[in-house]
Chain A
Amino acid sequence: MTQPILSLRGITKHFGGVKALTDVSLDLEPGKVVALVGDNGAGKSTLVKVMSGVHRPDSGTYLFEGREVAASNPAEVADMGVQTVYQDLALCDNLDAVQNLFLGRELTGPWYTGYRVSRAAAEKRAKEVLKRLRLDSISLTRNVGAMSGGQRQNIAIARSILWEPKVVLLDEPTAALSHSAAEQVGDLVRELASHGLAVLVISHDIHHFVLDNTDRIEVLRLGRNAASFNSKDVTGEQVVNAMVGGNEAVNMAG
């Protein structure tokens, strides 16, 4: 059993009267892909935002590499080595893949060039990273606005790991994707874990994406831990039952 790199213990977060999270615990281990599933409004995105430093929990502890951390703002959490890819990707459509990968962290030349952006160095580095992730088919020089949804998703994920984080959090990376594009993202997610990263991925696609690409499934229901499964030993029905609660056989597979 590997030691978790990021652990949440007894996290509670209320928005006014809305109990978004109550006493939630979660572990992420290096080299493992954990799926976070739950019905709409179960608190998944809120939990990710707590982990990425966007929200401070009302109570509970945040442990990173075994030490308790404050995780009170996103920049601090990112510096610690926890990167988040939100559902809207936050790409600039008028820039190409290299510019998007390095946006805000451009490599620059010396002062007498006016801190000129070192395009060649960035492109070289981007090439290496994309190759490592088996994403070499992505064009580095086309505007990302002209790319498919799957390619854009992959660029957003590649950007999150460019500076070698230890944990990557993905909020619904396959929500708007076709089946084959989702499979590509699945490949990428497993590729990340094979490089030793701890990956958390939110998805509603239990039957395909979650069962095929993750190691463990954590179920949230009404803001509480409802169940935890080993992805290998569980069926889609069991997971869905845990999501909606009780033993009623509710068929959510669309």
Chain B
Amino acid sequence: MTDASIPPTPTATPTRSLTERLGNELSFVPVAVGLIALFLFFATQSDVFLTSRNLSNLLVQSTVTGIIALGLVFVLLTGEIDLSVAATSGVASVFMAKLVMDFGLPVPLAILAGVALGGLVGAASARWVTLIGVPSFVVTLGVGLVLNGIQLLLLPRTGRYNLMNSGVDQLAATHVTGPMAWGLVLCAIVLFALVMGSTWRSRQRAGLSASFNAGVLLPVVIVALFLVGVLVFLENQRGLPMPVILFLALLGVMSYIASETRFGTYLYAIGNNAEAARRAGIKVDRIKITAFAIAGCMAAFGGILSASRSLGVSVSSGGGVGGGALLLESIAAAVIGGVSLFGGRGMVVGALFGALIIATVSNGLNLMGVANEARLIVTGLLLVVAVSIDRGIERLARPG
């Protein structure tokens, strides 16, 4: 394991190679490049693809998978997996619908209750995993089936709650336009600039190397271009769809938690070496339970959003029995986005790119008139390619 053949170099290079950076803070670059390539390809194949109406659709399509994948990233970082996220999203959305339709609970309260249920389910699974030491994929596989059963029990005889005009539909139907939308985008850019800027300033104050251009200007410009681009493109449609706003906001918060907070650092530490983390005084079980709880909340929220978009919940909410395509695509989104299934590697923003790639493939092939089976084949191949690229980079970044 330790490499005795390399003498300790007195002049170890303080700069890091590109492969090493690609394995860390730039891990999303290959997938971002892939996404752009896909966009260019579909733009040449279909006149409709680059219209704002279609891109608006594409973005909204990616939000449910994306939000579930966001939470899943936390769990994957710790080296665990949650195979019950799709089922959690289904049961939480049905629970929320039941509270609204049968018990007349106000919509915001019902949504909160649904999200809380998701968090509870996640925490309970993780408690079981850490207490008994059963692998998380087994526990959550079982939990997923249990939840599928409960979902059926919660549904009325008709097998469906219709949420049209229930108020829940407003969540997905709302669009933000005009000054409101610009204000939101401006807020996001300013917050991001503040975070990056304060890092730069504190490094400068401490007398450490700090580049304003690379550390602040470039990232802020990229984020600003992306957000303004999205806004301009969607403005002449119906404005910013609420699901997209929520997805991007959650993405920002989750990214901050993962990369800037103590909890985030512990996720990475546990995923790489849980024993080392434990000896460093980190409460490994508690961190894992929190990660699962967050993933459960996100899955539940994704499910509720999905219910709001499709104006109802049914047997097939949450991808149907076993989680179906929703489960596979959520995991695929995280993994395509560069998050390792073996823990400790990847970035939250990968969930955005992964979800966008999956939505783009499905949307683009649809426009080309390609059948559904081809879509599955392409998505599957993309997953394999993405993971292979990821492994390759990881190998290159290792010494020797």
Q: Which A residues are closer than 8 A to B by beta carbons?
A: 75, 89-95, 99, 103-106, 108, 113-121, 123-124, 127, 137-143, 145-154, 176-178, 180-181, 184
Contact = CB atoms under 8 A, between A and B. Distances in A.
A86 B298 CA distance: 39
Nearest to A113: B260
Interface stretch (B42-50, B148-156, B273-281, B323-331): B273-281
Contacts of B257: 114
A206 B23 CA distance: 41
B206 A121 contact: yes
Please report whether the interface of chain B is mostly helix, strand, loop or mixed according to DSSP: loop
A146 B207 CA distance: 26
Contact of B281 (A93, A104, A147, A152): A104
A119 B276 CA distance: 20
B14 interface: yes
Contact of B4 (A127, A146, A154, A181): A181
13 contacts: A90-B275, A103-B277, A104-B281, A104-B282, A119-B202, A119-B203, A121-B206, A137-B12, A139-B14, A143-B20, A152-B2, A180-B8, A181-B4
A116 B205 CA distance: 17
Interface stretch (B52-60, B261-269, B305-313, B350-358): B261-269
A123 B256 CA distance: 20
B232 to A, nearest CB: 31
B280 A90 contact: yes
Nearest to B202: A120
B102 interface: no
A105 B2 CA distance: 26
A139 B273 contact: no
B195 to A, nearest CB: 9
Contacts of A119: 199, 202-203
Contacts of A176: 1-2, 4
A180 B11 CA distance: 15
B268 A148 contact: no
Contacts of A148: 2-3, 6-9, 399
Contact of B208 (A123, A152, A181): A123
Given A178-B5, A180-B7, 18 more contacts: A89-B276, A90-B273, A91-B273, A92-B269, A94-B344, A95-B269, A99-B269, A103-B276, A103-B277, A105-B281, A106-B262, A124-B207, A137-B12, A139-B16, A146-B398, A147-B12, A153-B2, A178-B7
A138 B13 CA distance: 8
Contact residues on B (Cβ < 8 Å of other chain), bracket: 35 or more
B397 interface: yes
A147 B399 contact: yes
B265 A184 contact: no
B271 interface: yes
A92 B282 contact: no
A120 B197 CA distance: 13
Interface string B1-42: 111111111111110100010011000000000000000000
A145 B268 CA distance: 13
A177 B2 contact: yes
Nearest to A182: B4
A116 to B, nearest CB: 5
Contacts of A145: 398-399
Interface string B197-233: 0010011011110000000000000000000000000
A127 B14 CA distance: 12
A242 to B, nearest CB: 28
B56 to A, nearest CB: 32
Nearest to B340: A94
Interface of B: 1-14, 16, 20, 23-24, 199, 202-203, 205-208, 256-257, 260-262, 265, 268-269, 271-273, 275-277, 279-282, 344-345, 397-399
A139 B260 CA distance: 21
Contacts of A120: 199, 202-203, 205-206, 208
Contacts of B9: 137, 148
A103 B4 contact: no
A184 B277 CA distance: 27
B20 A92 contact: no
Nearest to A142: B16
Contacts of A180: 7-8
B3 A91 contact: no
Nearest to A116: B260
Contacts of A138: 12
A117 B7 contact: no
A184 B6 CA distance: 13
Pick the most buried of A91, A142, A151: most chain B CB atoms within 10 A of its CB: A142
Nearest to A159: B280
A114 B265 contact: no
A103 B230 CA distance: 39
A75 B283 CA distance: 13
Contacts of A146: 20, 397-399
Contacts of A89: 276
A52 to B, nearest CB: 11
Nearest to A149: B2
A108 B199 CA distance: 13
A120 B206 CA distance: 6
Contacts of A154: 8
Contacts of A95: 265, 268-269, 272
Pick the most buried of B5, B14, B23: most chain A CB atoms within 10 A of its CB: B14
B345 to A, nearest CB: 6
B15 to A, nearest CB: 8
Contacts of A117: 260-262, 265
A67 B252 CA distance: 53
Contacts of A90: 273, 275-276, 279-280
A124 B208 contact: yes
Contact of B272 (A94, A124, A141, A142): A94
